Every structure is written in structure tokens, then in C-alpha cells.
Amino acid sequence: MKINDILTVNDDLHEKFWQGERLNTEVSQHLRTVAQDFFDKLKLEEAEIEDITFTGSLANYNYTKFSDIDLHLLINFKDIDENKDLVKEFFNARTSNWNIKHNITIFGYEIEIYVQDILEKHHSTGIYSVTNDEWIAMPNRVEPEVDENMVKRKIKSFIDMIERAEDKFEMQKYENSNTEAEKLIKKIKRFRQSGLEDKGEYSYENLTFKYLRNHEHIKTLFNIRDQSYDKMRSMNGDHDKKFKIFIKNDEIPDKIGFHRLDEIGKFQKRMRAKHNRLKRLNIGHGKQKPGVAYPKKPNYKRSKSAPPGFGGT
């Protein structure tokens, strides 16, 4: 497991985005247009954009090829409603939908919109006001002190939890997988936020999150949540199949103590699931078009084991 891609510290700010200490004028204009278009479509006559800010790793020295353009719109939530939690949920839903629907890039980096209350604290060492063309918080180039072992342990722990939720989905335990995915999404969000508030962008919590995001584990988690919900709410009238699923997934109470045969069975199921997961990852996500070299979709089934003694001594 390599985490170098999330520990990058560059000597300079990204040269395509920055002209000295000022944001590239064409980039600035483009960001203002995107932000204003997003806000205008919300039809919120009672509120206005107080500021548009550019933040995150591309406004800092720790940008990588995985970075996003973090574009924040600062709004006074109280102008919309006294219940700020309600307003926050409204904006979260709208930005989530926009970010999923659109793939607008600048120099190959995707724009991700976030609506922020003007009173909300933002934990970043690089914040640039696109509206006023000036730094709100200028970044400093520092060599981070990171506990890599802690980061790797946390990464492995979260990947294991995500895979277990995915296993439940594959076993057609849709309600369980949906519940676990929802809890994990909230857990990772709180985990990252606590790190940002404590030690900032190079906290092991934030670096763990970045690894999970860069390697699409976060994407997998959201897919589990959404697809399991769709399965839970689907109705196709195939009652026999549903009954078989119910019988298959009937919960058996855990036995007291360690039972080796039971544990071996569980372990083998997880290994089969891991094999299928890795196979999908390695051969199922390729973007090559069908042709002479790839005339048909590859077989995802696991090969049969050879009989004892087949391989010789």
C-alpha cells in the first residue's frame, strides 16, 4: 500500500492556475461563471452570494493528479431560513446532485461545488477569494510530519468495513448493506472532520480519507448505499425468488466460542468475494473498446481448483 500520492508537497503552486500569487484571470472568470450559473438555477431570491472561494490542494502546495477544484459559495443561511440545519441539508442535496451530474474540468481537474454558510469555519491553509481576487488564507509550504503506520492501519480498517458492506450486498442482504453503508459514510465524514479541526490537512484522518477517495473506495461505498436502497424498494412480483432470498438470508444466532469449521467457512466466503472484487477491478473497469483483441467480455467466474497431486510434488 503506497500513500505517496497523498503526501506530495510541491515546490510551487500549480503553474497553470497561478500567476505569481494571483489566480489566473481566465480561471477566475470561469469559476465565477460556473458558481453563478449553479446559484441562479436555485431561484433563491431571498439570498445572494457573499463570496466565491477557491480552496483545497490546488490552492496549496499539496496538489496531485487526483486533486479537485474546490469551489465554495459563501451564503448567509439565515437569509433563507432560521433553521440552518434545514438549509444546509437543502444545499447538500443540490450540490451532491450537481457534482454527480456534471463533469466540468479546468486543465483536467474537475470542479466540485460546495455551499458554505458565512459563519462556518473552513479548515484549510489555502483559501482564495475569487470574488475579491485576493488571499483570505495564504498557504505555506511545509514538510508534513505524518504517522504513516497509523494512516495505513486506518486505511486497511475502513477498506475492510467497506468490503464487508459490499459482501452483504452481494449476498442480497440489501437492508443490512444499506444500513452499514449509511453508517460508514457518516463515520468517515466525522473521522475526517475531526482530523481537519485538530491537525489540519496533513492529519492522518484527512490523509486516510484522501486515499479512500483517490482509490475509489468512497465511490464504492456510495454505490453500495444507492444500489442497495434501489433493491430494497424494487418490486418485480417474483415471489418464489424473494422467498428463496428470505430463506437464504435467515439469520442464524452466533455460537458461543470459537468454532474452527464455521470460521473457515466464513473466511472462504470472504476470500471468494475478495477474488471477485479484485477481478472486477482489474478487468471490469477497463475502457478499451471491443475489437479483434477483445472480442467478448471476459469470464468473471473463479477457476476450479486442480485435483490433489495434479501439480506434482
Q: DSSP states of 214-245 as a string?
A: HTTHHHHHHHHHHHHHHHHH-----HHHHHHH
Question: In terms of domains, do 105 and 152 share one?
Answer: no
Q: Is residue 210 part of a domain?
A: yes
Q: Which three cell numbers stand for residue 16?
A: 497553470
* Number of structural domains in the chain: 2
Looking at the fold, whether 19 and 105 belong to one and the same domain comes out as yes
Can you give the residue range of the structural domain that contains 18?
Answer: 7-137
Is there a domain that residue 283 lies in?
A: no
**Does one domain contain both 170 and 126?**
no
Helix, strand, coil share of the chain (percent; to 5): 50, 10, 40
Residue 132 is part of a domain; what is its CATH number? 3.30.460
Alpha carbons 55 and 189: distance in angstroms, whole number: 18
Q: Is residue 2 part of a domain?
A: no
Per-residue pLDDT at 283? 58
Name the pTM for this structure.
0.61
158 CB-near residues (< 8 Å, 6+ apart): 184, 188, 208, 212, 217
Instruction: Among 137, 170, 196, identify where a domain stops.
Output: 137
Judgement on whether residues 26 and 117 belong to the same structural domain of the protein: yes
In a domain, 36, yes or no: yes
Q: pLDDT tens digits for the chain (313 residues)?
A: 666 667 778 899 999 999 988 999 999 999 999 999 999 999 998 999 999 999 988 999 988 888 889 999 999 999 999 999 899 989 988 998 898 788 999 999 999 999 999 988 776 778 999 999 999 999 988 777 777 888 888 999 999 999 999 999 989 999 999 999 999 999 999 998 888 887 777 788 888 998 998 888 999 999 999 999 999 988 764 444 443 444 344 444 545 554 556 656 656 666 666 666 666 555 554 545 555 455 555 555 555 554 445 455 4
